[in-house]
A and B are shown apart, each in its own frame.
Chain A
Amino acid sequence: MTRWEVFKQDTVGKPYQAVGSVHAADAQHALLTAAHVFARRPSAHSLWVVPADSINSRTAQELATREVQDMGSTADAVTGTVRDEGSREQPYHVFRKSSHRRSMTFVDHVGTLEATSPAAALDRAMAEAPDAAQALAWWVVPAAAVTASSEADAASWFEPAKDKTYKQQSLYGAGPGGSSRRNP
């Protein structure tokens, strides 16, 4: 069964962030299970799912090696989305991980650009980012591989979570000495 990477946008204007993955039969099923698994608690405004094999990933360590010179063709072979010798431009979403903080998420969406291949998209993104050398990892995703939750569904998919407060164990009065207290 296909593995899908899930990207969550917490509120309008915030970047989509990679939150984890789900296994599902198809994109719509992936979106639904992603909502169950990753949007049960506040907050979420929108979800994207992308087949895991459409993600072109490069870590800082990988970029520091010589293999980086060949990654364009490697990435193309992996995605299967750019088969025409990389000659046609298409939109790519670029994500990066910039720090080790917020370990519950991996990469953040940093921009969308037109390029002829994932490698070309990454080259441009790195050239345009003044602090590219500080990035820990990059993901490049063909925009065509993204399936997004619909704006119209937000009220039924994400709003109810705002009423579901997470209850800590202490709320139930359970714990040492707390068992089976009786009415006086």
Chain B
Amino acid sequence: MADARTLSAALQAPLVARLTAMADDELVLGHRNAEWTGHAPLLEEDIALANLAQDEIGHAITWYGLRSAIDGSDPDQLVYFRDAPDFLNAWLVELPRGDWAFTMLRQYLFDAYECELLARLARSTYEPLAQAAVKVGREELFHLRHSSLWLERLAHGTTESKERLLRAMATAWPLLPQLLAPMTGAAELHAAGIWPDPSELRDAVVARTRSALEGVGLTVGPLSPASGLTDHRGTHPAHLDEVLANLQSVARADPEAVQW
């Protein structure tokens, strides 16, 4: 087992990038979910989405913290003072929240991915990561239950809910491979037992989500075998700027402030 002090120098950069990508995914998704506050279709779901948002941002703090233990970076600086090209989140999480069907489908795909990933990371040879994965994984199971429940009800609800879900699928499903794409140094991290094999993880996530989506009666298109196999993280459609403008404006208004 390794920790931040015993991690080999060659693995530091790939692990830092991987943890940053994970943290950025959770941060951006958390902020997109937070946009539902005051707008959800039911008061109870408004509270639920705020909870999900807080949980995802809490997970982001966990992953930024693991990065910080390796390179001494300051999570607040990473979140509030990096520009879009330095964020490593996947496209799926930065898209606008759309309608309820899109938000729930995106949440489902992300929850299913995280549950598969965290189950594997719980066996990581990098001990702080294995411990965090167990803790975060517990909470993600609850998230997955929530999003799965909505997937089922939207699919079997009304003609309109099904149509909305199908439209959401057309946008979200093709973005799944990018979320699962290996990053630079993936082979080395896998060889060291720190991170799972990206292609095995990808197959597991695609099989699980495809089966769940087909199980509620959706037709799921093929994913191009080549799509997502190269590392696209670090490029962003225009949406991330919009998220960051909102997220960073207060901190940037007075960068020297230590207390508000």
Contacts and interface: CB of A to CB of B under 8 A. Distances in A.
B4 interface: no
B149 A180 contact: no
A33 B48 contact: yes
B257 interface: yes
A100 interface: no
A179 B253 CA distance: 13
A40 B43 CA distance: 15
Contact of B259 (A22, A159, A160, A178): A178
Interface in A152-184: 153, 155-157, 159-160, 163-164, 172-174, 178-183
Interface of B: 42-45, 47-48, 51, 55, 58, 135, 138-142, 145-146, 149, 153, 254, 256-260
Contacts of A178: 259-260
A160 B51 contact: no
A163 B131 CA distance: 14
B259 A36 contact: no
B260 A174 contact: yes
27 contacts: A1-B42, A22-B44, A23-B43, A23-B44, A24-B42, A29-B149, A33-B42, A33-B48, A36-B146, A40-B51, A153-B142, A155-B138, A156-B139, A156-B145, A159-B138, A160-B135, A160-B138, A160-B142, A164-B58, A172-B260, A173-B259, A173-B260, A178-B260, A180-B257, A180-B259, A181-B257, A182-B258
Interface in A1-36: 1, 22-25, 28-29, 32-33, 35-36
Nearest to A163: B135
A156 B254 contact: no
**A-B pairs with the 6 shortest C-beta distances?**
A156-B141, A33-B44, A36-B48, A181-B259, A160-B139, A156-B142
A144 interface: no
A37 interface: yes
Interface of A: 1, 22-25, 28-29, 32-33, 35-37, 40, 153, 155-157, 159-160, 163-164, 172-174, 178-183
Nearest to B153: A25
Contacts of B140: 156
A125 B44 CA distance: 34
B115 to A, nearest CB: 10
Contacts of B139: 156, 160
A25 B41 CA distance: 12
Contacts of B142: 35, 153, 156-157, 160
B259 A23 contact: no
Nearest to A181: B259
Contact of B260 (A22, A37, A180): A180
Nearest to B145: A32
A182 B45 contact: no
Contacts of B257: 180-182
A184 to B, nearest CB: 10
Q: Which of B43, B44, B145, B257 has the most CB of A within 10 A?
A: B44
A126 to B, nearest CB: 34
A55 B58 CA distance: 38
Contacts of B55: 160
A183 B255 CA distance: 10
Contacts of A160: 55, 135, 138-139, 142
Given A23-B43, A29-B149, A156 B138 contact: yes
Contacts of B45: 33
Contacts of B58: 164
A172 B55 CA distance: 19
B256 A182 contact: yes
Contacts of B48: 32-33, 36-37
A138 to B, nearest CB: 27
B35 to A, nearest CB: 17
Nearest to A30: B44
A1 B153 CA distance: 14
Contacts of A157: 142
A156 B135 CA distance: 9
